[in-house]
Chain A
Amino acid sequence: MVESAKPIPSTWCPGCGDFGALAALKKAMAELKIPPHEAVLVGGIGCSGGIHNFLEINGLHALHGRLLAQAVGVKLANPKLNVVAIGGDGDGYAIGMGHFMHAFKKNASILYVVMMNETYGLTKGQAAPTAPLGYEGNIERPFDAILAALSQPQPNFVARTFSGDPKTLTKVLVEALEFNRANRGFAFVEDLSPCVTYNDTFKEWREKVLDVSTLPGYDASDRAVMFRLCLETMDKGRIPIGVMHRPREVSTEAESLELKLLPDRIGPAVTPIDLEGNLPTYQKLLAAAG
């Protein structure tokens, strides 16, 4: 056995919602029998972004807000890797917003988990883009990532989960990873993961969450229905959770970015670059140039 990077003890506060996500991710990977060396966890900046240190996996710790760009780069370089990006809501919806919306457009088969806690915990509790009115003097209206996702023409797999319900979280992560492994495209999971130090919403959220799949008319393949169900739930002061979108079948439009570029799933990272093997192609290329 070659000794290599091993998990280290977590630096999170006791009781942090992120522990739920960490446990669920470990279970989901075990259930799908994904070996650690075949998975890459791209972490953002913030408390949640350190998660790659706390389990056995390849970790790529990205710049603040740039984890999705790096994750797409990894996936396109080697589509055979399972790529999971995990960061906070400040990382994803503030500094990284551009890449978040473009991730739906790009549709690479990566899983993006946002640990949503409405606050910047690591810098001691400033308002995140999701913070409700009044939190730390916040006077801007909170951003809603699920509504943004559902507004896209092809949101593919979209879900909201709650760290206080690790069983459902595990189930959703398994489904999302399977979606990716079938090269069906982008999967987005927003996990409500309270910050026990700066915004302890465990009790409040436990009372407020409402699984939309229990509502009459629930149909995760219909964006309009799901948009309406979410708005109605929010109007009642509840927080909609559950699988929010899941395409009924793979359509040509939904074909993932990596399959469009690399139908045989052999990526640039593993394709031979030696001169000898490529000589006929290079000679042809040079003969036609200039």
Chain B
Amino acid sequence: MTTPATQVPSTVREVGPSDTPPVKELADLSVLIGGQGGDGTLTVSDLLARYFRKRGLYVYTSRNVLSRIRGGHADSSVRASRDAISAIKPTVDILVAFDKEALEFGRPELEADGLVLYDSSVFQTDLPATFGFPFATLAGSQLGQPIYKNVAAYGVLSVMLGFDPALTRSVIEERFKRRGGEALEKNLKALEIGRKAALEHAEPMHRFTVVDGTAHDLRLMTGNQAVALGFVVGGGRFFAGYPITPATEIMEYLQRYLPSVHGVVRQAEDELAAINMVIGAAYAGARSMTSTSGPGLSLMTEGIGHAGAAEVPIVVADCQRVGPSTGEPTRHEQSDVAHLAHIGHGDFPRFLIAPGTVDDCFYLTVDALNLAEKWRLPVILVLDQALCQNSSTVPGFDLSQVHLDRGKRLEAEAVATRPSYKYYELTPDGASPYALPGTPGVTSQVTGNEHDEYGHVSVNPVNRVKMMRKRMEKLIHAQSDLPLSRTFGDPAAKIGFIGFGSTTGPIREAQDRLQTRGVSTRFFQARTLFPVPARELSAFLEPLDHAYVVEHNYAGQFAGLIREAMPSYHARLRSILKYDGLPFRAAEIVKAVEGGTDGRVG
């Protein structure tokens, strides 16, 4: 993403003859679409995203962007750029307002030369740079249903931004082909209605044009879809879950994908059933996962501890949202981190793996499956709402980078040559060789009670200590197996950032902005959160004056984990925290750094 110095983002280059209004060529464009829930704002951003991707641009879409939200307001945004991006743009170039609230809420975000398209059949305004089109009336009178107003708006935008008409149309076909029939036909008509209305207006056409990008064969997808794909390719074959925002799409994608590879997906009666079905399937030998969010995670806690004690390899994808309790189901937070690091009663090992971008979601899901099976414990994929549900363009996934590691798995022939088979055999690294139930000639006992090597219940104090150490020391022995962090920025910098998950995009963009202001920074993107990657972190922190831990929670949870693991770095850590339910914008991080102290944003 880091922008080369020669290339300025958001270029303003004036083209065209001098006697016509100047056309602004955008290399980094953002469109915000706002209205009431049900106005179809997500469809507009999705159509635009698909179009921009076809033009070789990197795309990032986001829902619920605005903080001044009440009632039924809903909005979504799309950003297209010549540079790789994974964050929303701090400002808006074009605002589409389906109602007056959307105008009021979105207008403060508008660029100085930005403009507004509004539905003049819903409200009127004479604010500067606003252009009314009666979207709802046009769609209602010509198609019988005002609901198609969103695609009419897409039609107006397509003319305004000089889209290629055939490509504009193909995007609609692609989007609605699955539903087909009337839906496709009416949406194509709605597009033409919008285009015609736009062509009849001299204004505000041809103010902007979108440049072509050079990125080809990009995929546009959400983190949830990438997790589902990574699960299948990583050999995942059993999934059980319970619907919960923002995790549900993982289950929905897997319902589509898994049957083609002999896999099974079940929607369980609750999260208790989901985690325990996963434990049963994993015990039987299937690579298994569930996905959930805060409230479901709380219910799954006992099961996760059971997997740790009984040494059953499971993966739990936690799509964090605003907590505690029901919190804000559709909003963004990273406030499960402390809970996950300490989850469950008693001591047991677990790994927390945190992808930072959509393609990271794919590869690290494969890693999570490998780690769980090899080390016989629960692995948690730490995700967040923005990462799970916002979509961005990613390069095609490289299957040559995918490797499966089944650890000390014993096939029937290998078992037959052994003197004994014990599910909890003591080994130097804590991971015991394992055979699937059904392997001829041997049986096993698997339990969450403390047990001996055979799995028989034991309260012998000497055995207890051996078994505790067997399990807990996996945290030490597995360390070189865990996903490495990534670092970005100037190695000579004195100011650092530490972050994980979807803050990766905004932090890297903040680095660029700070650099243009002469402030060099270095960024540590943690991809393993627990065990805390102390060796990597101390190498990162050593040359720095201080580092900001950037995270979405009130308490500075990841900073707390780092302080707990690395007390000598206590004074070097500061926090930049945001917990208003919305993802960081680069400008907020820049501002906090320039303020120079611990910052709470929003």
A residues sitting closer than 8 Å to B (CB atoms) are 1-6, 8, 35-38, 40, 42, 50, 52-53, 56-63, 65-66, 69-78, 80-81, 98-99, 102, 261-262, 266-271, 273-275, 278-279, 281-283, 285-286, 289-290
Any chain A CB within 8 A of the CB of B532? Answer: no
On chain A, the residues within 8 Å of B394 by CB distance are: 290
In the complex, what residue of chain A is closest to B228 when comparing beta carbons?
A: A289
| Cross-chain contact A281 with B276 (CB below 8 angstroms) | no
Any chain A CB within 8 A of the CB of B116? Answer: no
A107–B526 CA distance with the chains assembled, in angstroms: 44
| Cross-chain contact A98 with B269 (CB below 8 angstroms) | yes
| Cross-chain contact B442 with A37 (CB below 8 angstroms) | yes
A74–B240 CA distance with the chains assembled, in angstroms: 12
17 contacts between A and B (CB under 8 A): A4-B422, A5-B443, A5-B456, A37-B443, A40-B284, A59-B445, A61-B448, A62-B306, A73-B238, A73-B277, A74-B283, A77-B282, A77-B284, A102-B269, A267-B286, A270-B438, A275-B403
B residues sitting closer than 8 Å to A (CB atoms) are 219-221, 225, 229, 232-233, 235, 237-238, 240, 257, 260-264, 266, 268-270, 272-288, 302-303, 306, 310, 394, 396-397, 399, 402-404, 415-416, 418-423, 436-449, 454-457
A180 shortest CB reach to chain B, Å = 16
On chain A, the residues within 8 Å of B455 by CB distance are: 5, 59
B307 shortest CB reach to chain A, Å = 10
| Cross-chain contact A273 with B404 (CB below 8 angstroms) | yes
A120 shortest CB reach to chain B, Å = 17
On chain A, the residues within 8 Å of B286 by CB distance are: 77-78, 267-269
Picked from A36, A63, A286, the residue with its CB within 8 Å of the CB of B229 is A286
On chain B, the residues within 8 Å of A282 by CB distance are: 232-233, 399
| Cross-chain contact B238 with A268 (CB below 8 angstroms) | yes
In the complex, what residue of chain A is closest to B240 when comparing beta carbons?
A: A73
Picked from B266, B284, B302, B422, the residue with its CB within 8 Å of the CB of A74 is B284
Total A-B pairs, Cβ < 8 A? 227
| Cross-chain contact B445 with A270 (CB below 8 angstroms) | no
A5–B437 CA distance with the chains assembled, in angstroms: 12
Known: A58-B444, A282-B233. A63 touches B437 (CB 8 A): no
On chain B, the residues within 8 Å of A58 by CB distance are: 437-438, 443-445
| Cross-chain contact B404 with A274 (CB below 8 angstroms) | yes
A65–B455 CA distance with the chains assembled, in angstroms: 20
| Cross-chain contact B269 with A99 (CB below 8 angstroms) | yes
On chain B, the residues within 8 Å of A3 by CB distance are: 419-421
A62–B262 CA distance with the chains assembled, in angstroms: 26
| Cross-chain contact A69 with B268 (CB below 8 angstroms) | yes
| Cross-chain contact A98 with B261 (CB below 8 angstroms) | no
On chain A, the residues within 8 Å of B438 by CB distance are: 37-38, 58, 78, 80-81, 270
In the complex, given contacts A278-B261, A289-B225, what are 6 additional A-B residue pairs having Cβ atoms less than 8 angstroms apart?
Answer: A53-B456, A53-B457, A63-B448, A69-B272, A267-B284, A290-B394
Known: A80-B438, A269-B285. A4 touches B420 (CB 8 A): yes
B232 shortest CB reach to chain A, Å = 7
A81–B439 CA distance with the chains assembled, in angstroms: 11
On chain A, the residues within 8 Å of B419 by CB distance are: 2-3
Known: A98-B273, A285-B257. A4 touches B442 (CB 8 A): yes
A78–B394 CA distance with the chains assembled, in angstroms: 36
| Cross-chain contact A4 with B269 (CB below 8 angstroms) | no
A2 shortest CB reach to chain B, Å = 5
Picked from A6, A73, A99, A262, the residue with its CB within 8 Å of the CB of B279 is A73
A273–B303 CA distance with the chains assembled, in angstroms: 25
A61–B450 CA distance with the chains assembled, in angstroms: 11
| Cross-chain contact A37 with B273 (CB below 8 angstroms) | no
B241 shortest CB reach to chain A, Å = 13
| Cross-chain contact B238 with A285 (CB below 8 angstroms) | no
Q: Which of B240, B269, B418 has the largest count of A CB atoms less than 10 A from its CB? A: B269
B157 shortest CB reach to chain A, Å = 22
In the complex, what residue of chain A is closest to B253 when comparing beta carbons?
A: A289
| Cross-chain contact B281 with A77 (CB below 8 angstroms) | yes
Top 6 A-B pairs, shortest CB-CB distance: A73-B280, A290-B219, A273-B235, A268-B237, A69-B276, A61-B447
B224 shortest CB reach to chain A, Å = 12
In the complex, what residue of chain A is closest to B266 when comparing beta carbons?
A: A76
Known: A61-B446, A69-B280. A77 touches B441 (CB 8 A): no
On chain A, the residues within 8 Å of B416 by CB distance are: 2
A269–B434 CA distance with the chains assembled, in angstroms: 13
A289–B224 CA distance with the chains assembled, in angstroms: 12
A65 shortest CB reach to chain B, Å = 8
On chain A, the residues within 8 Å of B285 by CB distance are: 77-78, 269-270
In the complex, what residue of chain B is closest to A55 when comparing beta carbons?
A: B443
A251–B403 CA distance with the chains assembled, in angstroms: 44
B553 shortest CB reach to chain A, Å = 29
Q: Which of B286, B402, B419, B455 has the largest count of A CB atoms less than 10 A from its CB? A: B286
| Cross-chain contact B232 with A2 (CB below 8 angstroms) | no
In the complex, what residue of chain A is closest to B396 when comparing beta carbons?
A: A286
A78–B230 CA distance with the chains assembled, in angstroms: 23
A48–B273 CA distance with the chains assembled, in angstroms: 21
Picked from B280, B418, B444, B447, the residue with its CB within 8 Å of the CB of A72 is B280
A1–B421 CA distance with the chains assembled, in angstroms: 10
Picked from A102, A269, A275, A286, the residue with its CB within 8 Å of the CB of B273 is A102
Q: Which of A2, A5, A53 has the largest count of B CB atoms less than 10 A from its CB? A: A5
| Cross-chain contact B415 with A2 (CB below 8 angstroms) | yes
On chain A, the residues within 8 Å of B280 by CB distance are: 42, 60, 69-75, 77
A152 shortest CB reach to chain B, Å = 14
A89 shortest CB reach to chain B, Å = 19
On chain B, the residues within 8 Å of A35 by CB distance are: 440
On chain B, the residues within 8 Å of A271 by CB distance are: 237, 261-263
A95 shortest CB reach to chain B, Å = 9
On chain B, the residues within 8 Å of A4 by CB distance are: 420-422, 441-444, 454
Known: A4-B444, A273-B237. A285 touches B277 (CB 8 A): no
B219 shortest CB reach to chain A, Å = 3
On chain A, the residues within 8 Å of B268 by CB distance are: 69
B333 shortest CB reach to chain A, Å = 26
On chain A, the residues within 8 Å of B442 by CB distance are: 2, 4, 37
A273 shortest CB reach to chain B, Å = 3
| Cross-chain contact A268 with B262 (CB below 8 angstroms) | yes
| Cross-chain contact B447 with A59 (CB below 8 angstroms) | yes
| Cross-chain contact B276 with A37 (CB below 8 angstroms) | no
On chain B, the residues within 8 Å of A6 by CB distance are: 454
On chain B, the residues within 8 Å of A266 by CB distance are: 262
| Cross-chain contact A5 with B284 (CB below 8 angstroms) | no
A223–B67 CA distance with the chains assembled, in angstroms: 57
Known: A58-B437, A60-B280. A50 touches B457 (CB 8 A): yes
In the complex, what residue of chain B is closest to A289 when comparing beta carbons?
A: B229
B259 shortest CB reach to chain A, Å = 8
On chain A, the residues within 8 Å of B437 by CB distance are: 37, 40, 58, 60, 74, 78, 81
| Cross-chain contact B237 with A37 (CB below 8 angstroms) | no
A20 shortest CB reach to chain B, Å = 22
In the complex, what residue of chain A is closest to B269 when comparing beta carbons?
A: A102
In the complex, what residue of chain B is closest to A261 when comparing beta carbons?
A: B264
On chain A, the residues within 8 Å of B421 by CB distance are: 2-4
In the complex, what residue of chain A is closest to B419 when comparing beta carbons?
A: A3
| Cross-chain contact A273 with B287 (CB below 8 angstroms) | yes
A263–B280 CA distance with the chains assembled, in angstroms: 20
A279–B233 CA distance with the chains assembled, in angstroms: 9
| Cross-chain contact B444 with A73 (CB below 8 angstroms) | no
A103 shortest CB reach to chain B, Å = 10
A187 shortest CB reach to chain B, Å = 17
A262–B425 CA distance with the chains assembled, in angstroms: 33
In the complex, what residue of chain B is closest to A96 when comparing beta carbons?
A: B272
| Cross-chain contact A70 with B279 (CB below 8 angstroms) | yes
On chain A, the residues within 8 Å of B396 by CB distance are: 286
B450 shortest CB reach to chain A, Å = 11
In the complex, what residue of chain A is closest to B279 when comparing beta carbons?
A: A70
| Cross-chain contact A77 with B288 (CB below 8 angstroms) | yes
Picked from A36, A60, A281, the residue with its CB within 8 Å of the CB of B260 is A281
